[in-house]
């Protein structure tokens, strides 16, 4: 037992743990911020994984073609939005089952990205780090928050911007209305399915940017398994956070810390079963979702298709 607490202490006091946690949490936050807006509108995007993966490949391709990280990120947001438009229009214009559409899109994007990656073999690299003087010297957390590749910093203004859009604009009020009571919103003159489609476009934009950040801000290259289920963990973070922006970011930090913990533990000299470490983020995700799913209230019309005139 003493060895266990020693290992925990070594990890908690290591700056690498916090830097890794921030990198993982940022990826989840890019996806979860958009997913929060989409779910507040009553949609559930299982295709979040595909949006991240599409953005990751597009970011690598943009970097390959132009040698510009900025252009790569633009490519990533465009492709993420393209994937989202398929999800949005099939689910909320053609009224196809949104779960089936999401799963099909994840498989389709994986197949296309794998084929194009083999054919093109894009060459990319990670963006340079940008250190913010002064605050980067804060013990333990300074490097984690203020000495990172510059694409990570895009998530900082995105959080208050998404909150403002959702809670301080008429559009955000209408989005929340269609997620709670779409029939009443329709009677009030709100185009329910249009608002739902728009919210998914935002999720695609932020998730595509997240995929671009993953390749151009973290890894530096594209691989087929680069996303590795992070889209589903981002959905879990939304549930964990009770569909509030503050709670969602807290969930991203929690899951990011767990991911960082499993990678930091071996580097500080402590051995643990590698399969158990690899499964740890998903185990924690399942446990937390099981625990919190019954303690938070989801939008009343979440995942319920809207057809005018039906109650």
247-306 tens-digit pLDDT: 999 999 999 998 888 777 766 555 665 566 667 777 777 777 777 666 677 899 998 998
Q: Are 24 and 52 in contact (CB under 8 A)?
A: no
Average pLDDT value for the chain: 90
The gap from C-alpha 168 to its chain's centroid, in whole angstroms, comes to 23
pLDDT tens digits along 208-259 = 999 999 999 999 999 999 998 999 999 999 998 999 999 999 999 999 998 8
Domain boundary assignment for the chain = 13-126+145-292
Task: Using alpha carbons, select from 49, 22, 23, 48 the residue that is nearest to residue 35.
Answer: 48
Task: Using alpha carbons, select from 189, 199, 153, 144 the residue that is nearest to residue 30.
Answer: 153
Cα separation, 204 vs 217, whole angstroms: 19
CATH number of 13-126+145-292: 1.10.3470.10
| Confidence band for 311, pLDDT divided at 50, 70 and 90 | low
Q: Are 230 and 207 in contact (CB under 8 A)?
A: no
pLDDT of residue 287: 79
pLDDT of residue 1: 46
| Confidence band for 10, pLDDT divided at 50, 70 and 90 | low
pTM of the model: 0.92
């Amino acid at each position: 037992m003493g060895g266990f607490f020693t290992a925990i202490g070594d990890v908690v006091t290591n700056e690498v743990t916090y830097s890794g946690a921030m990198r993982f949490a940022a990826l989840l936050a890019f996806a979860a911020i958009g997913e929060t807006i989409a779910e507040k509108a009553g949609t559930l995007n299982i295709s979040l994984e595909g949006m991240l993966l599409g953005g990751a490949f597009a970011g690598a391709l943009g970097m390959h073609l132009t040698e510009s990280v900025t252009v790569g990120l633009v490519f990533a947001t465009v492709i993420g939005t393209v994937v989202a438009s398929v999800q949005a229009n099939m689910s909320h214009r053609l009224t196809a089952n949104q779960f089936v559409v999401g799963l099909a899109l994840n498989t389709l994007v994986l197949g296309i990205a794998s084929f194009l990656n083999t054919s093109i073999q894009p060459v990319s690299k990670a963006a340079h780090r940008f250190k913010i003087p002064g605050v980067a010297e804060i013990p333990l957390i300074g490097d984690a928050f203020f000495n990172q590749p510059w694409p990570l910093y895009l998530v900082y203004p995105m959080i208050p911007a998404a909150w403002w859009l959702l809670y301080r604009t008429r559009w955000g009020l209408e989005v929340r209305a269609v997620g709670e009571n779409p029939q009443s919103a329709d009677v009030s003159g709100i185009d329910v399915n249009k608002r739902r489609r728009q919210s998914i476009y935002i999720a695609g934009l932020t998730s595509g940017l997240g995929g671009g950040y993953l390749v151009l801000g973290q890894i530096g290259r594209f691989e087929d398994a680069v996303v590795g289920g992070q889209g589903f963990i981002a959905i879990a973070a939304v549930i964990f956070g009770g569909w509030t922006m503050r709670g969602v970011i807290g969930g991203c930090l929690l899951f990011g810390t767990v991911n960082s913990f499993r990678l930091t533990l071996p580097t500080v000299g402590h051995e643990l079963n590698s399969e158990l470490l690899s499964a740890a983020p998903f185990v924690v995700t399942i446990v937390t979702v099981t625990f919190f799913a019954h303690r938070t209230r989801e939008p009343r019309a979440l995942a319920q298709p809207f057809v005018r005139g039906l109650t």
